[in-house]
Structure 1
């Protein structure tokens, strides 16, 4: 780790770092589809839906498609996942409700108390690929104490595009070095570090289920590494 430095704002990846998307989406899929007689591998279905996330954003990063919010991409990906699993016959209202599963993801148990402690000393904001409505609803659902919603929609770009990080810092009137990126994903931190942001890795070894093979440990020279938001709060309190 590098020597710690003073920062004014902590900016968080959300999906996987703050909220447990996999089990939350699996529960939502089961709740919506099991009463209709479907008996499916709900975790595999959640993985399939999430697996379409990066390719959908890459079309926008590459310039092949104009900026489109994540709610729309999630809906397109949901339609593809339902086809892949042989699910048909849902009404438009049911599809809309199911797509909003991403607005009802449960925080990891350490997050609300840990973020509450961090909020005493830092500006807390999202630096997520989620659109504003999604992030606001997720915060209200999970009692996440953000000061501000930043990231993809305000910059009209998706991580790891430089604009997503730099535009989020600029929206706060801060230089990149005044901000710390907090994420469970080493590549996210690498992109932020290249732009001068401080970095904190929070390990989420079950984000992708029991067979997870990536991001099991920090693999860069990050400023901090922790196993929970509570531990991160402890580390920053001692800095």
Structure 2
């Protein structure tokens, strides 16, 4: 794509299989206590509530790790899992720091980085991104966490601040995500956008927003296809 000088990647669902990792850990820890529930539904509710508590925040005194821990307690209560101890809940919470990346991401990223700086631009905390990146062999040129900016997507200041840090015009950046809400906000600030399909992000239920906005500059099935489309 002409004029692109860097790629920024949503990281939570676009790169990481949060549903698989968290649902497995919930089932494992709760199973030791003899608890049963719809783990897929509990995990998706946990994710929805966590996103709702962090998206659009401006200068909060908490970060996404804090939100994940707080919302876990709320979901535990609402799903009748009160037998889980503080230690159990902490173990579940720590699973966020050990998530697996989608299998096609690292091969695609390695190809893209030959030609373009690739940046994690994320709601997640720097600590979490560092941990999952080391676990999965992900090498970034830069991590820009909304926590570092002090303003969270999808506020326009988050995208403006990222472009400023990269010393690029928004139109020189390709924002890559599997969520229209993120891409739509980036596009309003002048970014080019790529919708990458992640049909398993929300597990068997499927993603709540699976159809790419036709305004996207690119729509790809995976990261190897993105690398090919970017001539990498």
**Shorter-chain TM-score range:** over 0.9
Q: Which runs of 4+ in 1 moved over 4 A?
A: none
Measured in 1, the distance between the counterparts of 2:205 and 2:64 equals 26
Map residues 179-218 of structure 1 onto 2, 5 A cutoff.
179-212=173-206, 214-218=208-212
Q: Is 2:201–2:207's contact at 8 Å kept on the other side of the alignment?
A: no
Measured at CA, do residues 24 and 213 of structure 1 come closer, stay the same or move farther in structure 2, by a change above 3 Å? closer
Measured at CA, do residues 67 and 8 of structure 1 come closer, stay the same or move farther in structure 2, by a change above 3 Å? farther
Aligned-pair distance for 1:121?
A: 0.9
Measured in 1, the distance between the counterparts of 2:227 and 2:112 equals 6
Aligned-pair distance for 1:127?
A: 1.1
Q: Which residue of 2 aligns with 1:12?
A: 9
Aligned-pair distance for 1:67?
A: 4.2
Of 146, 161, 164, 2:158 maps to 164
Q: Is 1:151–1:168's contact at 8 Å kept on the other side of the alignment?
A: no
| SS at structure 2 position matched to 1:102 | helix
Is 1:86 aligned to residue 80 of structure 2? yes
Question: What TM-score do you get using the length of structure 2 for normalisation?
Answer: 0.92
Measured in 2, the distance between the counterparts of 1:187 and 1:56 equals 15
| SS at structure 2 position matched to 1:159 | coil
RMSD: 1.9
Aligned-pair distance for 1:164?
A: 1.4
Q: Is 1:20–1:108's contact at 8 Å kept on the other side of the alignment?
A: yes
Of 118, 131, 134, 1:137 maps to 131
Unaligned runs of 5+ in 1: none
Measured in 1, the distance between the counterparts of 2:60 and 2:106 equals 35
CA displacement 1:40-63 (0-9 Å, x = unmatched): 2211111121121232125x63x6
Q: Is 2:178–2:195's contact at 8 Å kept on the other side of the alignment?
A: yes
Measured at CA, do residues 194 and 220 of structure 1 come closer, stay the same or move farther in structure 2, by a change above 3 Å? same
Q: Is 2:96–2:128's contact at 8 Å kept on the other side of the alignment?
A: yes
Measured at CA, do residues 19 and 195 of structure 1 come closer, stay the same or move farther in structure 2, by a change above 3 Å? same
